[in-house]
Amino acid sequence: AHSCVLASASPVLERMIDRARRGWGADCTIRVLGVSFDAVRAFLHFLYSAKVAPEEEELVGAHGAQLLALAHAYRVGWLKRAAEAAVSARLTPERAVDMLKLARLCDARRLYLRCARLAAKDFSAVERSDGWRFARRHDAALQLELLQLLEDADQRKERWARERAAQEACRQLGEAMASLDHIFPSDGPARGDAPCDKAGCTCRGLQLLMRHFATCARKAAPGGCARCKRMLQLFRLHASVCDRPDKACRVPLCR
């Protein structure tokens, strides 16, 4: 009966039990090496219960790394996911290198990414850990892999910063284009320097910039005026997308 329970919980145990029965009778001893007795007992408990109850989450956390290795070796998918989540939730910089190596051996992608993010966030603490010192002396491949992960994380941060800056520039240009349409409506007189009564409208700053553009003597000088250059760029952008007839558009320099 116990053999049937274990065989139904793990395909690896099922093959081991079946092979033992075919070879030398009903007696079968399975030796589980490399982990503590308490971890094996917890592993067997979860094989019989087939779930992790809320009150048993501390037990998973106490033996998380060993349960992850056992669940991977014996192909118990649900327990592997529970152990991976427990190890990820309790991860510290001091254990990041060790858990990164375990995640690579056990094909635990979620834990692998969590270790990489933690190392990128607090690499100074990771460098002081025993795992990093061991990797520097005895596992150059792991050290190189971690450094590559850190470099990739820095590149992602730079790419996200550029994307955010581009989005912010597009937002500001959109507001400026909307302000031009508000100052020079197609179905009414231009506002000119008249104050705007629309809540949250930013057209007043654009009105002041256009007044400066109209009177600035430096815009034709060598080097020009930075404010006038920005205003001219905005006029060019408007002209490139304006779909009004030439005589209907009152925005300066549109024609």
Contact assessment for residue 177 and residue 237, using Cβ atoms and an 8 Å cutoff: yes
Whole-number Å distance between alpha carbons of 37 and 43: 10
Residue 190, helix vs strand vs coil: coil
So what's the pLDDT on residue 79? Answer: 95
**Which of 181, 192, 197 is closest to 214 using CA atoms?**
192
Query: Is the separation of the CB atoms in 17 and 7 below 8 Å?
Result: yes
- At residue 141 the predicted structure's pLDDT band, cuts being 50, 70 and 90, is confident
The dihedral sign for the CA sequence 10, 16, 19, 20: negative
Residue-wise pLDDT for 107-135, tens only, equals 999 999 898 888 888 888 888 889 888 88
The helix-helix angle for 203-215 and 140-183 (nearest 10°) equals 80
Q: Which amino acid is at 76?
A: V
Confidence of residue 88 (pLDDT cuts 50, 70, 90): very high
- Cα separation of 109 and 164, whole Å? 28
Per residue in 225-247, pLDDT (tens digit) is 888 888 888 888 888 888 877 67
Global confidence as pTM = 0.61
| Domains of the chain and CATH, by start | 3-154 (3.30.710.10), 161-241 (no CATH)
Residues ≥6 apart with Cβ < 8 Å to 23: none
Distance CA 93, CA 57 (A): 22
